Amino acid sequence: MALHSVSAHGSPEATLSWPVNDEQSAMLVRHFIITVSQFFDFCDEQRHFARVVPIRARSDSTLANAMLACSARHLSLTTTFDYTVADAYYQQCLQALIPAIATRVDDETLLAATVILRFMEELELPMTGRDSQHHLLGTQALVRAYEQQCHSETPSSSLLDAAKLAAFRQDMYMALTVQRPMNLSKRAMFPCHGDLSQAISETDWANFAIAHCCDALEFAFAEGPQSVEDYRKLRMANDDWRRSKPASFEPFFSTSGRKSVLPDVRYMADWHSMGNLYNLLARLLLLTHDPELPRLGLARRIAIKTADENIRTNLLSMAGIAKSNCDTCSSLLVASMAIAMFGDRLTIAAEQDVMDQILGETQARCGWPTNAARQMLRTAWQLA
């Protein structure tokens, strides 16, 4: 396979064959495998983006350029690596991707490349509900590829399943950011997600928590009145996951947080921490969209005060989990989403400071744009 090597100034140089034979490309491949893949593989025991994608990239230049572009962009956001290198790989990838969409819509490698580009574009979007729209090409390509596969009778491969799960989580992130329902079909992705008895592996339990979070999101941002019956079912499902989860999803070490602002809650695997985080995020969405809250009077004030205290407790739990398992960047990302959405409810200065620090750490360590969310929260805290 021929790739274009990119110079330190971002300009294409001579082609090279796989395996790569220049130091910069080797460094980018390694960074993708070790670091960037974690954003996709945190609920995947087989680690498809770390183990399978680089192998597929040997024979697919579109996937290879997507991988190198994403790796370069992430490095440029977390180190002093040249920002323009990613742009060159990105343009090379798009030149092949755009015509391929029309002819390779059922290609799992194309979907994986699109998901990787979508992540690269997410690194440019603030957690403030403001969308510059420049990512729509990647999103539309992803949705078309995804829907084609969902309606296909051909058995899906493990890479395809991994890419679709990543696509689903990306759509969930954007839905949370702009506060809208999902675009992708949850039922096609999780046909048995409501039945915990169908969970076979530990990652099934984590993915069930993600599917439940999607249900909570759909309830929270649905148009029209919210059903009390649906709300109660969702609260019950949230509690059921907590009660029924395997013992491995319990922390191997935890402290209450009495000596510090945040509890220290450590898990054995990233899908353990992520499953618990998505369950807590779903609970926060339900707490803030409770149709059973009294409408008027003292009862409403008391109910809102109780809800705000529950939101505070759950938000501190999420922040504690993320901080205690920060080697999984996705834990910081999910916690930061929750902080951006619900952090304005915090009134204690020490807790506000810790949340601000976590948002800063998420940007510094993970490359995720949190500065706009930090500024909005600081303004909200000053006004409170």
What span, in angstroms and rounded, lies between the C-alpha atoms of 130 and 13?
Answer: 37
Q: Which of 116-120, 249-253, 283-287 has the lowest mean pLDDT?
A: 116-120
Neighbours of 146 (CB within 10 A): 25
Are the C-beta atoms of 222 and 182 separated by less than 8 Å?
no
What would you report as the CA-atom Rg of the chain, rounded to the nearest whole angstrom?
21
Any idea where the domains of the chain sit in the sequence? 1-182, 190-384
pLDDT band for position 1 (cuts 50, 70, 90): very low
Q: What is the distance between the terminal CA atoms of the chain, rounded to a whole angstrom?
A: 58
| Mean pLDDT for the stretch of residues 125-151 | 54
Which distant-in-sequence residues (6+ apart) come within 8 Å of 124 by Cβ? 132, 134, 135, 369
Per-residue pLDDT tens digits for 227-255: 999 999 999 999 999 999 999 999 999 99
Cα–Cα separations (whole angstroms), residue 181 to 3, 71, 211, 222, 321: 39, 30, 13, 6, 27
pLDDT score for 158: 87
Distance CA 326, CA 298 (A): 41
Check residue 98 and give its pLDDT.
80
For residues 69-97, average pLDDT: 94
